[in-house]
Structure 1
Amino acid sequence: MQTLIVYYSRTGNTQAVAEFIHAQVGGDLVALETQEKRPTDYRAEVDLNAREQLQNQLPPLKTRIPDFEQYDRIFIGAPTWNMALPQAVLTFLSTYDFTDKTIIPFNTHGGYGAGQMVAQIQAAVGNAIVLPILSVVGGEEINGQLLAIKGQTKEAVAKKVTAWLQKIGQ
């Protein structure tokens, strides 16, 4: 089974979870990056993403996945913004064919959960199999807390990743 772990991370929380997954299942680890630089200010980024959501705009990605068709199992990670996926992740989902693939979503959030993430992924991947999501609290950037998955929290999240992978048979 060929594994791809793709993630979009602003502050490093989703990246940390992606790295925990990678350490346990292997495969290729890929960060999604947009062609144009995104705002560094949290509020400006969330506002831009909200405008993109309202206007159904998908920012072009700099990231390319060569030989995407080789992957059978694809982990997709993202933070929750405006109770939804970041538009950059929707760009990724609209770029590739997920037919006959197993999709495994994971999410970081500031306390509000995954929002519409699973429904958005399911709608984008058609008949692909979508396994249960892992959703963990990351930072609360709106309150100035950026990277929260560190120290004791990092250990707890690593254990949560292990338990989730076992539960979903991965």
Structure 2
Amino acid sequence: MNNKTLIIYYSRTGNTEAVAELIQEKIDGELVQIETKEPRPADYRIEVEQNAQEQEKGSLPILKTSIPDFDRYERVFIRSPTWNMALPQAVITFLDSYDFSGKTVLPFNTHAGYGAGSTFRQIKARAEGANVLEGYTVKGGEETNGLLLAIQGKYKEKVSKEIDTWLETTKQSKK
């Protein structure tokens, strides 16, 4: 296993996790899920509203996830869904909790059809001192329409090929 690569992700319905797992299959690395100390609402609309309120107030949830040996990682893949056209506040907490100086950061994103929004710009702004490379974004589920896990079957195969292209383009393919 490549012990210098961290693949960190925040996922609600499993789409973001599915992409993170595909990346891990291709490049190895340690896979870690961002989890908040307090459980998030199970209802999607309540979750999105809570996150929007947190964004407006600038409040950040406390994380259960801790990476005490963060310094040893040279390459960090940061995976996040788009909520309210931005990063979920839990991902902001993560970014604000660690020193990214000298690291290579690769953002990747799932969305419900609206694209990455400001997520890649936010990651670049908050991962100070890092070399933030081109991000990868892909349509995941549409929870408001009852489509939760979209990245499976034939679509997962398509996403896997897109990830191969992204890793080659950013020169991050497994050597």
- CA deviation vs aligned residue, 1:116-158 (integer Å, no higher than 9, x gap): 0111111111221000000000001111110000111111111
Q: What percent of counterpart residues are identical?
A: 59
Q: Find the counterpart in structure 1 of residue 67 from structure 2.
A: 65
* Stretches of 4+ aligned residues off by more than 6 angstroms: none
- CA deviation vs aligned residue, 1:84-130 (integer Å, no higher than 9, x gap): 00000000000000000010000000000100011111111122100
Q: Find the counterpart in structure 2 of residue 35 from structure 1.
A: 37
Gaps of 5+ in 1: none
Q: SS of 1:74's equivalent?
A: strand
2:8 to 3, 6, 9: 6
1:143 to 142, 145, 150: 145
Partners of 1:62 and 1:141 in 2: CA distance? 25
In the alignment of these two chains, the number of paired residues is: 170
Partners of 2:18 and 2:69 in 1: CA distance? 25
Q: Find the counterpart in structure 1 of residue 134 from structure 2.
A: 132
1:106 to 102, 105, 108: 108
Partners of 1:48 and 1:118 in 2: CA distance? 22
Q: Find the counterpart in structure 2 of residue 165 from structure 1.
A: 167
Partners of 2:75 and 2:37 in 1: CA distance? 26
Q: SS of 2:65's equivalent?
A: coil
Q: TM-score, normalised by structure 2?
A: 0.96
Partners of 2:78 and 2:7 in 1: CA distance? 6
Q: CA RMSD in A?
A: 0.8
